[in-house]
């Protein structure tokens, strides 16, 4: 069942990816450009963005810091005043493994600032622009880490749970206005963020595979896009377990 307008033809569509200097965001920018989209890439790494723009004709590099509300607002004004935007995807993310026995408050708040507050900085100007133009799609890259609590995910998991809830609420409010909203929940993807993990990552996939899965989800008109399903399907089943069973099973699976 399609919950959003399907996007199957990207030729000539204007797309803005916030957090696209590496990982899934960069792979998604490459995939969209290959399908004929006009891609605007944003992140803090201005050199990486310009390298993308230099090698992908018609694209645009727009550096910004998602934790700086005026910077994000100015970038949004620059994007939307140049014409309608068909897709805005929030790809920015920060991740370090953390347990409750080794709390780093500064890094906890950094997770919140990048993963959640940055998305909130984006909301008001982008939603207003989409409502005025009467069409468009707003997407957030979250994670299966947001499904339920997991070991070593004290800082990261809660921020991704917040994005899932945010997307659900936005969908209820914006879909009656003809706007698309989706949330992307990947499993393990080989990116600079996951490269720091010191544990086995089941069903690890490459960023290009993740980008293709996302494009297929948008083409289906899906609200939630999760992959690889051989892994994410299992985690979805775990969401249904009562707490005693869930805690016991997760401890058993993740113990050294």
Distance of CA 13 to the CA centre of its chain: 19
Residue 70 CA to residue 64 CA, distance in Å, equals: 10
Residue 250 CA to residue 241 CA, distance in Å, equals: 11
Please indicate whether residue 171 is annotated as part of the active site: no
For residue 147, the tally of other CB atoms under 10 A from its CB is: 19
Joined tokens for residue 252: 């058993």
Q: C-alpha angle with apex 129: 125 to 130, nearest 5 degrees?
A: 120
Look at phi and psi of residue 59 and say left if phi exceeds 0, alpha if psi is from -120 to 50, else beta: beta
- Please tell me whether the peptide bond between 228 and the residue prior to it is cis, using omega within 30 degrees of 0: yes
Measured between alpha carbons, how far apart are the two ends of the chain, in Å? 41
Cβ distance 90 to 41 under 8 Å?
Answer: no
Per annotation, catalytic residue among 90, 95, 156, 171: 156
Report DSSP state, residue 113: I
Distances (CA, A) of 207 to 25, 179, 212, 214: 8, 27, 9, 11
Catalytic residues: 156
């Amino acid at each position: 069942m399609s919950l959003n307008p399907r996007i199957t033809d990207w030729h000539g569509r204007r797309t803005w990816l916030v957090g696209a200097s590496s990982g899934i965001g960069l792979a998604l920018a490459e995939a969209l450009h290959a399908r004929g989209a006009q891609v605007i890439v944003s992140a803090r790494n201005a050199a990486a963005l310009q390298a993308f723009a230099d090698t992908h004709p018609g694209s645009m590099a727009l550096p910004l810091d998602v934790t700086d509300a005026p910077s994000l607002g100015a970038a949004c004004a620059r994007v939307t005043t140049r014409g309608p935007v068909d897709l805005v995807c929030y790809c920015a993310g920060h991740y370090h493994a953390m347990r409750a026995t080794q709390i780093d408050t500064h890094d906890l708040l950094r997770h919140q600032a990048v993963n959640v507050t940055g998305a909130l900085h984006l909301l008001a100007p982008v939603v207003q622009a989409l409502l005025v133009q009467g069409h468009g799609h707003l997407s957030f890259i979250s994670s299966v880490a947001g499904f339920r609590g997991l070991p070593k995910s004290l800082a990261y998991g809660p921020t991704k749970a917040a994005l899932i809830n945010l997307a659900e609420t936005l969908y209820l409010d914006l879909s009656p206005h003809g706007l698309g909203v989706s949330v992307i929940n990947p499993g393990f993807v080989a990116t600079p963020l996951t490269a720091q993990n010191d544990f086995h990552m089941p069903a690890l996939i490459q960023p290009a595979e993740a980008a293709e899965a996302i494009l297929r989800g948008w083409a289906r008109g899906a609200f939630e896009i999760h992959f690889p399903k051989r892994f994410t399907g299992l985690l979805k089943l775990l969401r249904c377990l009562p707490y005693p069973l869930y805690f016991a099973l997760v401890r058993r699976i993740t113990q050294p």
